[in-house]
Chain A
Amino acid sequence: MTQTSESSSDATSDGTDVLVEASDLEVYFPIKSGIIFDRTVGHVRAVDGVDLTIHRGETYGLVGESGCGKSTLGKAILNLEPPTAGSVVFDGTDIASLKGEDLRRERKRFQMVFQDPMSSLDPRQTVENLLLEGMRAHGLDTDKDATRARLRELMSSVGLPVAALSKYPHEFSGGQRQRIGIARALSVGPDLIVADEPVSALDVSIQAQVINLLQDLQDELGLTYLVVAHDLAVVRHISDRIGVMYLGGLVEESDGAELYDVPLHPYTRALMSAVPVPDPQVEDSREQILLTGDLPSPANPPSGCRFHTRCPWKQETLCDTERPQLRVVEVDGASASHRVACHYAEQVASGEIQPHQVEAVSVESGFTGPVDGPDAPPEAYVGV
């Protein structure tokens, strides 16, 4: 919190500072086809109308399966992937509308940690150069001694010896590389860090090291995190609030513990029951909701509720015609900050509606091109 904002920061009713407010954010990728001239024949709706609020000092966890647009949303919030529509107000400034030099100068306030620590570090730069680069770009390296001290502080804050400064990324193990990636993000003194699958490329024993490091740094520096991950257990472990994404939209948003105790959206329930727990007793006794079929294509999302094609609680009316909005529901244990996008959330929670068999939809809708089209699979657009 070393930065001061020009505008007064908004405060919500409960008095906490809002750091990031994204409204109606959309990221569409054009699907091009044509022999000589590219024609846009459709859009992959990677992010399709998301409202998101992140408070200062909290960790917001964004969870969902591949192709749900969570990574794209993370990048769109940082304007690394320019949003097609919508706004992202960061501490009073709309980042989504910034361009060029103005955007570049703002970047020191929000940083990113990447999934693959090897490919996100330039193999030809020493760690020192990698860390200095951002400081140089923002004019933070004026005093030589202070810069040296800052470098050492960065290294010690991510738990690496100073000797590592002169080394190259390929000389480190995966976990150490991710520490360098975190140090680089910290080098410019950001308020917000978007961590895109920060541990999913790491071995299990190393994952915990990095998770702990992220938590320590947050306590120490008062950082705000947006953690994007597919692993619900990881997200639940580090997040204050969790948003569940399905096919470009948020389907449920809640306090972390509450989401686990009172999952309201059928997709959240299915996701939660699918996560394996390393405890045979839990595994043997728990109830599993197995979803059938695959994620429909974001280029051609289902009408109404995006999840209705796979939902075991799907009803005859509303589900396939009207897209549900996030709303607060009157259910025992659900607080006012718990929002869900399901028409029948109350009835599902009370057991009034029981799950039924779902016929798996023909898989053409999955991540596959049309049968006769050599189009690249949409993963190329979405997964990035």
Chain B
Amino acid sequence: MTQTQHTNRPRGGSSEPLLSVRDLRVTFQRQGEEEFHAVDGVSFDVRPGQTVGLVGESGCGKSVTSLAIMGLLPGRGNRVSGSAIFDGEDLLTLSPAAMRDRRGSEIAMIFQDPLSSLNPVISIGRQVTEVMERHQGLSRKQATPKAVELLERVGIPDPKARLLNYPHQLSGGMRQRALIAMALACNPRLLIADEPTTALDVTIQAQILALLKELVVDTGTALVMITHDLGVVAGLCDEVNVLYGGKVVERGGRHGLFRDPRHPYTVGLLNSIPRLDAARGEKLSPVPGSVADNLPWTSACAFAPRCSQVVDACTRETPQWEGDQVVGHRCFNPMGGTR
């Protein structure tokens, strides 16, 4: 019951990336309106067995990034460019049929709201076995014992009985577990989790996070964790990408980023979270303004109007990426710098 968490994991540092996203751009265009760059040149790597976090607030493009990689964006009204090389193939140029084959078998996704991502009129068991029937060519008979095994593995009590339940009969935490079971049905090599615990209570969140952690360690699946919660990132991710206004503004290893954040936005985020282990009365220092104040990246740093470290260059030119695929930031006047 009580478990002590593992220490810093030096896993996956040197191996070839499993997913390599380069200069991903997603542009939305609505009739009669200006183009909106939801994702504006995002690059990152995910190695086997590694957990990579995409962190940011609403509107930073983290969810759109994952949907674009999965080929799940609505067909009309958007443009996707760049590349997402998964195992030597560019996912962005695959045909819809080929992408469907990858989805669910090689790459799986977990969504924020488990109730709306499960089909309400099909039993949990059918939904899990269906994935295996579709991708592994199993018969329903062969798939059922595997489904029971999966449900048990994700910690659903009395899995045999649960097979016959419908999603509304399960609690939120159990639904999310069922969804994870579905995602794991075909042993995917990459798992993308989009705010998987945001709709859940903290005690349930702790259960789900522990489960995800365990799965990554046991199966070697790579995990892309999309979240707004830096606390979740701190406990789970090996590498963290902080997104702002559609661009990665800072990247670093888990310990490095939290110990020595360079970008003022990362610093601002960390300073604006009330911490359970801080004394009362310590004033929070919030990031002023809101994303509505952003400048366009084309001729400035989008964060400049809200930034405490702003210098002249910030409102005149686009800050370039300083660093590599492991550590770096995008700022003219970074903070800290002792690492």
Contacts and interface: CB of A to CB of B under 8 A. Distances in A.
B290 A176 contact: yes
A289 B288 contact: no
Interface stretch (A19-27, A106-114, A138-146, A204-212): A204-212
A277 B232 CA distance: 8
A256 B254 CA distance: 30
Contacts of B207: 290-292
B332 to A, nearest CB: 20
A205 B235 contact: no
Given A260-B276, A277-B276, A66 B201 contact: yes
A208 B203 contact: no
B201 A204 contact: no
B174 A363 contact: yes
B270 interface: yes
A272 interface: yes
A358 interface: yes
B258 interface: yes
A93 B157 CA distance: 50
Contacts of A289: 1-2
B231 A278 contact: yes
A211 B284 CA distance: 8
Interface string A188-210: 00000000000000011111110
Given A204-B57, A357-B1, A279 B170 contact: no
Interface stretch (A74-82, A127-135, A150-158, A233-241): A233-241
A294 B171 contact: yes
Contact of B231 (A176, A277, A285, A293): A277
B291 interface: yes
B122 interface: no
Closest 9 CB pairs of A and B: A276-B231, A366-B171, A208-B286, A208-B272, A237-B274, A205-B287, A274-B206, A283-B235, A65-B201
Most A Cβ at <10 Å: residue of B58, B209, B286:
B286
A256 B282 CA distance: 13
A274 B205 contact: yes
B148 to A, nearest CB: 16
Contacts of A231: 202, 274
27 contacts: A65-B204, A205-B272, A206-B286, A207-B272, A207-B274, A208-B272, A211-B286, A231-B202, A233-B274, A236-B274, A237-B284, A270-B203, A274-B206, A275-B231, A276-B231, A276-B234, A278-B258, A280-B8, A283-B231, A294-B171, A294-B204, A356-B1, A361-B157, A363-B157, A363-B174, A364-B169, A371-B169
A232 B58 contact: no
Interface string A289-301: 1111111000000
B5 A284 contact: yes
Contacts of B169: 364, 368-369, 371
Interface in B201-221: 201-207, 209-210
Given A65-B202, A207-B272, A233-B275, A368 B234 contact: no
B191 to A, nearest CB: 19
A349 B235 CA distance: 27
Contacts of B254: 280
A289 B272 CA distance: 26
Interface of A: 65-66, 173-176, 203-209, 211-212, 215, 230-234, 236-239, 256-257, 260, 270-295, 312, 355-364, 366-369, 371, 377
A235 to B, nearest CB: 9
Given A277-B276, A280-B8, A288-B206, 6 more contacts: A230-B201, A260-B276, A276-B229, A290-B206, A366-B171, A371-B165
Nearest to A366: B171
B284 A232 contact: no
A277 B5 contact: no
Contact of B174 (A207, A286, A359, A366): A366
A81 B59 CA distance: 36
A275 B231 CA distance: 8
Contacts of B288: 209
B121 interface: no
A273 B288 CA distance: 31
Given A288-B5, A290-B1, A276 B232 contact: yes
Contacts of A358: 1
Given A204-B57, A277-B277, A294-B173, A212 B8 contact: no
A291 B206 CA distance: 9
B290 A204 contact: no
B283 interface: yes
A41 B5 CA distance: 46
Given A173-B292, A290-B1, A204 B231 contact: no
B286 A205 contact: yes
Nearest to B4: A287
Interface string B167-180: 01111111000000
A204 B198 CA distance: 13
Contact of A273 (B165, B206, B290): B206
